[in-house]
Amino acid sequence: MKYQSEYHNQELAEEYIRELKNTVTKPWKIMEVCGGQTHSLVKNGILNMLPPEIQMIHGPGCPVCVTPLHLIDKAIHLAEKEGVILCSFGDMLRVPGSQKSLLEAKAEGADIRILYSPLEALKIAKDKPEKEVIFFAVGFETTAPANSLSVVHAHRMGLKNYSILTSHVLVPPAIEAIMNDEESDIDGFLAAGHVCTIIGLEEYYPLVEKYKIPIVVTGFEPIDLLQGILMVVRQLEKGDFKLENQYSRVVREEGNPMAVEVIKKVFKIDNREWRGIGTIPNSGFELQENYAAFDANKKFDFNIRKAEESSECVAGQILKGIKKPHECPAFGKKCTPENPLGAPMVSSEGACAAYYHFSHINM
């Protein structure tokens, strides 16, 4: 496991920090888009090591955090139906819906399973033909290939009892929405490495040109992040705006064409609501018409009211980088991981939970 030694090397990290200190001359705001990167920045203590001029802004790239409230309510509603097995990725379970979380629904008797892959859900559907198996298909472009593949397989296997509840969001439209927001003042981006592993770099060139900002596709280990930050800062200091690829050991220019092909076969691009942010045009995936039979949204009746978000939660401003978690009056007081007001406090990739768990050493 080379990444555990090479990409956590202390001397190398110190070298990058020194180089950052030598390079930076004025304050810059850099957004890491992906929740996995936020998690790594705080878990490895990188935020406390950076020169004070560099401020990291934690973006909306936590799929759990941006899944709208009413979709969570829908998932709970489905899970509580007789004869339904609802399958989900683990960290989705604790996110509060308007009444309760999936974890609470599970405790009350709903059959909810934590899985690592939708292909496992297919197996359950095959083994239990008398049950309706629904996969809560949450995520960015990263989880889309497996989720779409599960639909292709279900179709091929002739499964009538499998469907997915889609909450797929896309990164480039989110970057665009942040740049279009008048309040936001981001100078550069670390783009999410894993997302680009799938879709490649193509969609990022127009963003760099349109907004004249540096974007560096970056990995998730500490050395990846430090290198990515240095690459952005070097561009900013020179007045450059380019697309660069720090994560070239994994990300290819064209991405993964086979994965993209499956995604396109199953999904179409549509407008999407992001929790805390609102609807972003062309920012999500929906199932194509010819796979409608696998769309839980169409397969089942939902007679539930669209719930309102807590008015105290400033998740939207946090996800757009306008506010830092500790600038929210409810942070750590009314809103904690045990009793979250909004989603960024729930998942450990969420900016608020990450801050709550890992930052703030009381000296």
Partner 1 sequence: MKLHCPMPQLDFDVITLGHGSGGLLTNKLLDKVIFDLLGNEKLNERHDGAYFQLDGKTAFSTDNFVVSPIFFPGGNIGELAVNGTVNDIAMCGAIPKYLSLGFIIEEGLKMTEFWEILVAVKRACDNAGVQVITGDTKVVEKGKGDKIFINTTGIGLVHSKADINIENIKKGDKIIVSGQLATHGMSIMSVREGLEFETTIESDTANLNHTVEVLLDDFGDEIHLLRDPTRGGAATVLTEIAKSRKLGINIEQKNIPIAKQVNAACEMLGLDPLYVANEGVFMAVVGAEKADQFVEKLKALAYGNHAAIIGEVVEEHPGQVVMSSLIGGKRVVNMLVGEQLPRIC
Binding region for partner 1 (CB under 8 A): 1, 4, 8-10, 12-14, 34-36, 39, 42-49, 63-64, 89-94, 103, 113-117, 120, 123, 138-140, 142-143, 194, 222-223, 226, 336-338, 347-349, 356-363
Residue 182: partners with Cβ closer than 8 Å, 6 or more residues away = none
Rounded least distance, CB 219 to partner 1, Å: 12
Q: Which helix (H) or strand (E) holds 93?
A: none
Q: Of 49 and 293, which has the nearer Cβ to partner 1? A: 49
Q: Of 298 and 360, which has the nearer Cβ to partner 1? A: 360
Rounded least distance, CB 39 to partner 1, Å: 7
Rounded least distance, CB 236 to partner 1, Å: 23
Rounded least distance, CB 240 to partner 1, Å: 27
DSSP string across 295-349 = BHHHHS----PPPPPPTT--HHHHHTTSS-GGGSTTBTTTB-SSS-SSGGGTSTT
Q: Of 8 and 21, which has the nearer Cβ to partner 1? A: 8
The answer to whether 56 and 316 have CB atoms below 8 angstroms apart is no
Q: Side chain identity at 287, as an amino acid letter?
A: L
Rounded least distance, CB 32 to partner 1, Å: 13
Q: Of 151 and 345, which has the nearer Cβ to partner 1? A: 345
In the chain, how long is the greatest CA-to-CA distance? 65
Centroid of chain to Cα 33: 8
Q: Of 159 and 322, which has the nearer Cβ to partner 1? A: 159
Q: Of 4 and 303, which has the nearer Cβ to partner 1? A: 4
Q: Of 28 and 89, which has the nearer Cβ to partner 1? A: 89
The angle subtended at Cα 282 by Cα 94 and Cα 286, nearest 5°, is 60
Q: Of 358, 362, 355, 353, nearest to 95 (Cα)? A: 353
Q: Of 24 and 171, which has the nearer Cβ to partner 1? A: 171
Residue 135: partners with Cβ closer than 8 Å, 6 or more residues away = 87, 88, 115, 118, 121, 147, 150, 162, 163, 164, 165
Rounded least distance, CB 103 to partner 1, Å: 8
**SS3 label, residue 285:** strand
Rounded least distance, CB 72 to partner 1, Å: 14
User: Which runs of consecutive H residues, i.e. helices, occur in the chain?
Assistant: 2-6, 10-23, 35-43, 63-66, 69-79, 102-107, 118-127, 144-157, 171-180, 193-199, 204-211, 222-238, 257-266, 296-299, 315-319, 351-358
Rounded least distance, CB 1 to partner 1, Å: 5
Q: Of 168 and 299, which has the nearer Cβ to partner 1? A: 168
Rounded least distance, CB 256 to partner 1, Å: 15
DSSP string across 160-208 = SSEEEEEEEE-HHHHHHHHHH-TT----EEEEEHHHHHHH-STTHHHHH
